A and B are shown apart, each in its own frame.
Chain A
């Protein structure tokens, strides 16, 4: 029941918002903010009841629909893989809402309604254990994001929003076919039941793996399916970019863990080298393209491609360090890239530009902004002592020692990605903050307001927390990963 309350709580805010008059913009913002903060509180309540070693916690299973004797269930549950994603979601949504406080002035009501529906959709994605229910939530996140980009986005918003929807749908419709196929052949849509009856669809494992992977790879995104991402991220309003990069990309990586690895372990083992190669191409490609960008937001967008490459490499290392590191890196990327988009949005609100050539020497004008931005950038670059390092390090160790990948070269090549990340991110710091003030208009910039500090400080705190003492996070993740990997390892034994 806890999970049902948590998932649908944002809709309470939606109901209140619907009743407010269009002029009451501030009241609406407060309603949305308080709703999302309460949702965060609820997720902490769930965390307090959570037992990492207990497998699926707080499961709730209700009959929903029967089609030819195959039940579709309303089945929610939380385990070590999903708990961090849930916390990340509820943690970032209030920040995103707060960041939109002044930026969004048009149709505030619709904006906030879509935001809260999006939160419910994402929580549902991370909690659903029935495949059909998962699909419903998966698609439910699509429409609000489509509107967030399409109505409140930049100049090419319509193109970007349609591209986003079509890319996502093309993958998810293939997944729907696979879900139906599973339901028909195994007589159930429930993920745990399917896990226990894998022999019923073993013959088609590879095809099913590909169909699910198509949906998730587009979302992650894995090279070469990433082309929607720069458009969507750049055109989306700041708060939309935060959610898109920090949370929605994680839905893809999470999908790989929850469904591809758990349901098709043999196919996962066989596909691991290919996936790892694609991940590494993504790391190098994303980093190189990011380096060439003249626009800060585009740079951050392409850096996401690179960072998610690390996550995928960790997951398909298929060992404890790799997968646990991958999950932690999902959180890290959410925090760091969320913070980056947030801070890029702040400077854009002040200058209405995001081009490097218009900045320079900002350190002298707005030291607080610059200092925080440098911390956030360094965390994204993986500086030891900050969060990015812990995740990347764990992933690289995993990839290095991975039996499934079978070669230390994967880790070796990926490590150059860490160097490249440092190159383009340091270039960003240099061009924006160091040297003399090149643009006189920037001399009158104001430093961060209290509201802006309230959005960024929590993120910086988490950046340091994970960087210095990541153990509590690993404690949440590890038991679930161990369980998952037992399955994969027995599949690997069969194959080798």
Chain B
């Protein structure tokens, strides 16, 4: 029998789910020309959830027979997910109208997906992990194919669905293996049996590896990244923005939680694998991004590369001394990356004339001269991605590299440094087109899109002036460990 305190633990998730269900019904009475109202209602729902999340934050509780947890880690991520949701809706409103794909379900699906992510950050049981994963993924499959009738959108949805189904299969199979090896499905139980040495080690390691593959797919880490450019390219840009930040963060949330809580004992086996994945992801993402001519694909490869950087901090997860440090570094980086990413995707949304059209790098020509403020904002995002001071991206990299070096992975940090250097080239190529080539391109900057651009650009710079506050915030996002 669930109690009030149990419900309180998942209050923000509950609000989002309930709101989504109500919105689905309410939307029926909202006329077709006024779907902006649905968008507004969705944002209000997210804002309420954000309020609830802030109000209930600060405590660490387990609920529903240790199925879910609420701790600093989930509090931090809830804010990230809810903020991403609001930004995604701001980007969507005008964009959907222009692309003639405006329908009320869009916002409802987005809310369901956010609920899934929030639950993902709170899951404390492998079954919950899987349920949350599906709750977050299925709406995204639909949303990436939301521009039905356009072949790139349909291709995107089908690809994502097929690959995603595979990934879910891996996670489910891994879960089964771990259950078989330990006899438990809940985190505390698994951790305790593992600690007592009562698990079948072979099955357990195979299970852990399968989970890693599944999560690797979600965060778009090499070699499980192949879907990313196609899906980001074909999906509506507002959804690509959401995926590149929130879905990735959710994947990391689960990866971090499962590995930190369940597998610290497997660090010896897992660290070399993680090392390889991180290095490969950084190298692949950055090298292939060099050759991109389409802005959406460039951002997709850049998002792969950034997943590599986050994984770099995570390689040392098994180290007792620096383990929590690596979580803070990863979360701080996600924050920095998310801000710049939403800003850059907002520019994409403003550039996109017809669905998927006008997004080549040449189309950026002359933007800096014609729209100096927008150009400056895009410059800030690119500099932040490249990790050049004085941006949040710099402090993010600074923190990540520091953690990596401290944990003794100097060669990995060196790979990270070299690949950052490569990334400078393609990020600056965007700047070259914007400021150094002539062009007459016009943008469609809806006030809401403009707001997202302004807020993210100012945040990237202003937060970088005094980053200590946000580092401290990321430091508080500690995880309940067994």
B468 contacts A65, C-beta separation under 8 Å: yes
Known: A67-B471, A184-B405. A107 touches B389 (CB 8 A): no
Chain A contacts of B420 at CB under 8 A? 173
Shortest distance between the CB of B144 and any CB in chain A (Å) = 35
Per-residue A-contact encoding for B163-176, CB less than 8 Å = 1, 0 else: 00000000000000
Known: A150-B435, A150-B436, A158-B436. A67 touches B399 (CB 8 A): yes
Q: How far is the CA of A68 from the CA of B395 in the complex (A)?
A: 14
- Name which of B394, B435, B436 has the most chain A CB atoms within 10 A of its CB: B436
* Contact of A365 with B by CB under 8 A: no
Q: How far is the CA of A324 from the CA of B427 in the complex (A)?
A: 41
Shortest distance between the CB of A29 and any CB in chain B (Å) = 18
B436 contacts A157, C-beta separation under 8 Å: yes
Chain B contacts of A158 at CB under 8 A? 432, 436
B405 contacts A181, C-beta separation under 8 Å: yes
A143 contacts B424, C-beta separation under 8 Å: no
* Contact of A147 with B by CB under 8 A: yes
A169 contacts B401, C-beta separation under 8 Å: no
* Contact of A44 with B by CB under 8 A: no
Chain B contacts of A132 at CB under 8 A? 398
> Interface residue tally of chain A, by bracket?
35 or more
B401 contacts A177, C-beta separation under 8 Å: yes
Q: How far is the CA of A25 from the CA of B403 in the complex (A)?
A: 48
Tell me the chain B residues, 398-448 only, with Cβ under 8 Å from chain A.
398-399, 401-402, 405-406, 410, 413-414, 417-418, 420-421, 424-425, 428, 432, 435-436
A177 contacts B405, C-beta separation under 8 Å: yes
Shortest distance between the CB of A23 and any CB in chain B (Å) = 14
Of the candidate stretches A134-142, A398-406, A459-467, the one touching chain B is A134-142
Contact for A177 among B414, B425, B428, B466, CB less than 8 A: B414
* Contact of B383 with A by CB under 8 A: yes
Interface of A is mostly: helix
Shortest distance between the CB of B400 and any CB in chain A (Å) = 10
* Contact of A151 with B by CB under 8 A: yes
* Contact of B390 with A by CB under 8 A: yes
B468 contacts A150, C-beta separation under 8 Å: no
B424 contacts A68, C-beta separation under 8 Å: no
* Contact of A66 with B by CB under 8 A: yes
Known: A65-B467, A110-B372, A183-B402. A166 touches B390 (CB 8 A): no
Tell me the chain B residues, 296-334 only, with Cβ under 8 Å from chain A.
325
Q: How far is the CA of A360 from the CA of B428 in the complex (A)?
A: 42
Beta-carbon nearest neighbor of A137 in chain B? B389
Q: How far is the CA of A170 from the CA of B471 in the complex (A)?
A: 27
A165 contacts B402, C-beta separation under 8 Å: no
A68 contacts B406, C-beta separation under 8 Å: yes
- Name which of A68, A139, A161, A170 has the most chain B CB atoms within 10 A of its CB: A68
Contact for B421 among A63, A135, A169, CB less than 8 A: A169
B435 contacts A180, C-beta separation under 8 Å: no
Known: A151-B436, A177-B413. A165 touches B428 (CB 8 A): yes
Per-residue B-contact encoding for A9-21, CB less than 8 Å = 1, 0 else: 0000000000000
Shortest distance between the CB of B395 and any CB in chain A (Å) = 8
Tell me the chain A residues, 157-200 only, with Cβ under 8 Å from chain B.
157-158, 161-162, 165-166, 169-170, 173-174, 176-177, 180-181, 183-184
* Contact of B388 with A by CB under 8 A: yes
Shortest distance between the CB of A155 and any CB in chain B (Å) = 12
A143 contacts B401, C-beta separation under 8 Å: no
A140 contacts B389, C-beta separation under 8 Å: yes
Beta-carbon nearest neighbor of B424 in chain A? A169
Chain A contacts of B428 at CB under 8 A? 146, 162, 165
Chain A contacts of B395 at CB under 8 A? 65
A166 contacts B402, C-beta separation under 8 Å: no
Q: How far is the CA of A165 from the CA of B386 in the complex (A)?
A: 12
Per-residue B-contact encoding for A47-62, CB less than 8 Å = 1, 0 else: 0000000000000000
B467 contacts A162, C-beta separation under 8 Å: no
B436 contacts A174, C-beta separation under 8 Å: no
Tell me the chain B residues, 442-482 only, with Cβ under 8 Å from chain A.
466-468, 471-472
Contact for B468 among A64, A143, A174, CB less than 8 A: A64
Chain B contacts of A151 at CB under 8 A? 435-436
* Contact of B369 with A by CB under 8 A: yes
Q: How far is the CA of A271 from the CA of B79 in the complex (A)?
A: 52
A174 contacts B417, C-beta separation under 8 Å: yes
A139 contacts B388, C-beta separation under 8 Å: yes
Q: How far is the CA of A146 from the CA of B424 in the complex (A)?
A: 12
Chain B contacts of A65 at CB under 8 A? 395, 466-468, 471
Q: How far is the CA of A150 from the CA of B401 in the complex (A)?
A: 30
Shortest distance between the CB of B8 and any CB in chain A (Å) = 33
Q: How far is the CA of A356 from the CA of B383 in the complex (A)?
A: 41
Shortest distance between the CB of B431 and any CB in chain A (Å) = 8
Contact for B390 among A68, A110, A136, A161, CB less than 8 A: A136
Contact for B471 among A66, A140, A147, CB less than 8 A: A66
Known: A169-B421, A177-B417. A67 touches B372 (CB 8 A): no
Shortest distance between the CB of B348 and any CB in chain A (Å) = 22
B390 contacts A150, C-beta separation under 8 Å: no
Chain A contacts of B372 at CB under 8 A? 110
Shortest distance between the CB of B380 and any CB in chain A (Å) = 10
Shortest distance between the CB of B250 and any CB in chain A (Å) = 26
A107 contacts B406, C-beta separation under 8 Å: no
Per-residue B-contact encoding for A454-475, CB less than 8 Å = 1, 0 else: 0000000000000000000000
Shortest distance between the CB of B470 and any CB in chain A (Å) = 10
B401 contacts A176, C-beta separation under 8 Å: yes
A173 contacts B417, C-beta separation under 8 Å: yes
B389 contacts A136, C-beta separation under 8 Å: yes
A143 contacts B436, C-beta separation under 8 Å: no
Q: How far is the CA of A173 from the CA of B372 in the complex (A)?
A: 29
Q: How far is the CA of A177 from the CA of B416 in the complex (A)?
A: 10
A166 contacts B325, C-beta separation under 8 Å: no
Chain A contacts of B424 at CB under 8 A? 165-166, 169
Tell me the chain B residues, 43-57 only, with Cβ under 8 Å from chain A.
none
Chain A contacts of B417 at CB under 8 A? 173-174, 176-177
Q: How far is the CA of A162 from the CA of B290 in the complex (A)?
A: 14
B389 contacts A139, C-beta separation under 8 Å: yes
Chain B contacts of A63 at CB under 8 A? 468
Q: How far is the CA of A361 from the CA of B224 in the complex (A)?
A: 70
Chain B contacts of A183 at CB under 8 A? 402
Beta-carbon nearest neighbor of A64 in chain B? B468
Chain A contacts of B401 at CB under 8 A? 176-177, 180
Q: How far is the CA of A280 from the CA of B466 in the complex (A)?
A: 44
Q: How far is the CA of A85 from the CA of B383 in the complex (A)?
A: 28
B383 contacts A143, C-beta separation under 8 Å: yes
Chain A contacts of B402 at CB under 8 A? 67-68, 180, 183-184
Chain B contacts of A68 at CB under 8 A? 325, 402, 406
Q: How far is the CA of A157 from the CA of B432 in the complex (A)?
A: 10
Beta-carbon nearest neighbor of B369 in chain A? A107
- Name which of B394, B424, B467 has the most chain A CB atoms within 10 A of its CB: B424
B425 contacts A166, C-beta separation under 8 Å: yes
Beta-carbon nearest neighbor of B418 in chain A? A173
Chain B contacts of A176 at CB under 8 A? 398, 401, 417
Q: What 15 additional pairs, Cβ within 8 angstroms, besides A110-B372, A169-B424?
A: A65-B471, A68-B402, A139-B388, A140-B389, A143-B383, A147-B435, A151-B436, A158-B436, A176-B398, A176-B417, A177-B405, A177-B414, A180-B398, A180-B401, A181-B410
CB-CB nearest 5 A-B residue pairs: A136-B389, A65-B468, A173-B417, A139-B389, A150-B436
A-B contact pairs, 18 of them (CB 8 A): A64-B468, A65-B395, A67-B471, A110-B372, A136-B389, A136-B394, A143-B388, A147-B435, A150-B436, A158-B436, A166-B425, A170-B421, A173-B417, A173-B418, A176-B398, A180-B405, A180-B413, A181-B405
Residues of A participating in the B interface, judged by any CB pair closer than 8 Å: 63-68, 107, 110, 132, 135-136, 139-140, 142-143, 146-147, 150-151, 157-158, 161-162, 165-166, 169-170, 173-174, 176-177, 180-181, 183-184
Residues of B participating in the A interface, judged by any CB pair closer than 8 Å: 325, 369, 372, 383, 388-390, 394-395, 398-399, 401-402, 405-406, 410, 413-414, 417-418, 420-421, 424-425, 428, 432, 435-436, 466-468, 471-472
